[in-house]
Amino acid sequence: MTESPTDPAASRPTVKLRPGKGRRLSQGAPWAYADEIAMDRRTKALEPGSLVRLVEGDRVLGLAAFNGQSQLAARLIDPDPEAEIGPDWFAARLGAALRLREAFHDAPFYRLVHAEGDGFPGLVIDRFGEAVVVQPNAAWIERCLPDLLAGLEAVLAPATVVISATSRARRLEGLETRLEVLGRPLDGPVEVAMNGAVYLADLAGGQKTGLYFDQRGNHAAAAALASGRDVLDVFTHVGGFGLACIAGGAARAVAVDSSEPALALAAEAARRMGVTDRFETRAGDAFDALRAAAEAGERYGMVICDPPAFAPHKGALEAGLRAYARLARLAAPLVEPEGWLVLCSCSGAVSAEAFREACTGGIGAAGRQAALVLSGRAGPDHPQHMALPETGYLKALTFRMQP
């Protein structure tokens, strides 16, 4: 194997857990927080992203990536503390991730790497045919980026690599943000076919990687129930649920989002699908749009709300739950009797139970009754780490509204 010149195995430092700490590590989680680390002067001086031997007393836990500037200070990346981290190491793990996706998808459009779920803490890669979007959200990935790209070339040989280093997580790691396109230049949005619909993904200028693959299965479930109905898709992004429902036979879809560029892509996708007469876009704040629809007396056979994370961290949990309840309260009155209400959350800090309670509370506050009939999650290209419930971040609840 080719060893990374920045972190040769023979000279790796040792980082120790404080006595009695590391409870989550002992339960299988791949993390140790800053207050669980013995932060002596030598440890504090380590460069962010350094590869270290992580130990607890006399027990070696494995090879970890260390960043003393981050609350999430140590991330286990290999059980072998002497593992050589270079192009071959990345290629082997990327190959395993690719084989998982190929077991479920017959077209090269999916999340290729889902951070801890694929053994790459802090890394996300989405594949769009001959292009990939790489989100290096941790200091060790930034440090090892040349080796990662070499491994990616060996496994996929993508024509275009977009380095989308713009996430909030990078700021928490003390990293600067940037956007870079390597290889063949992009000549516009990438067309993606899913569930019979067409989507346009702006890989360099859109939100995150340009498209949310995680909702693929939930789009299909909603589309199966939408036939012949009018659909209101709130927080649609580039067409999301709305275009899938149109492809599934919905009579009409109204797509709401605050981003006019995203709505322009949704409208263009509808044009390519030949359904512009059945697809309407509305730009504006989602909560305002729901209130305006109610004041206008609008009713729909299906209303879908797929907002951004209202609780991106535990500190925002209570405010986030109130926002989810308010969204349900505003959306429920717009659903026809025996219609469908689909409510989603991508907040890792919100448990499935807490989200369900917020939704049912909001529906009840609107004076409506409903039965929960479907519970969805992210697809198999978003594998969950078995010791990290928060990696099962996506929740999609489908309610059948009572008469």
Nearest to 266 by CA among 236, 292, 293: 236
CA dihedral 79, 146, 43, 62 (to 10 degrees): 0
Q: Assess contact for 64 and 77: CB atoms under 8 A.
A: yes
How far, CA to CA in Å, does 274 sit from each of 83, 197, 240, 269, 306? 53, 11, 17, 9, 25
Q: Assess contact for 189 and 265: CB atoms under 8 A.
A: yes
Q: Which residues contact 33 (CB under 8 A, 6 or more apart)?
A: 71, 72, 73
Of the candidates 305, 344, 346, 359, the residue annotated as catalytic is: 346
**Ranges of H-type helices in 282-351:** 286-295, 317-331
Spatial separation of the C-alpha atoms in residues 48 and 142, rounded to whole Å: 10
CA 34 to chain centre: 25
DSSP β-ladder status, 190-194 and 197-201: antiparallel
Is 344 part of the annotated catalytic residue set? no
Enumerate the active-site residues.
346
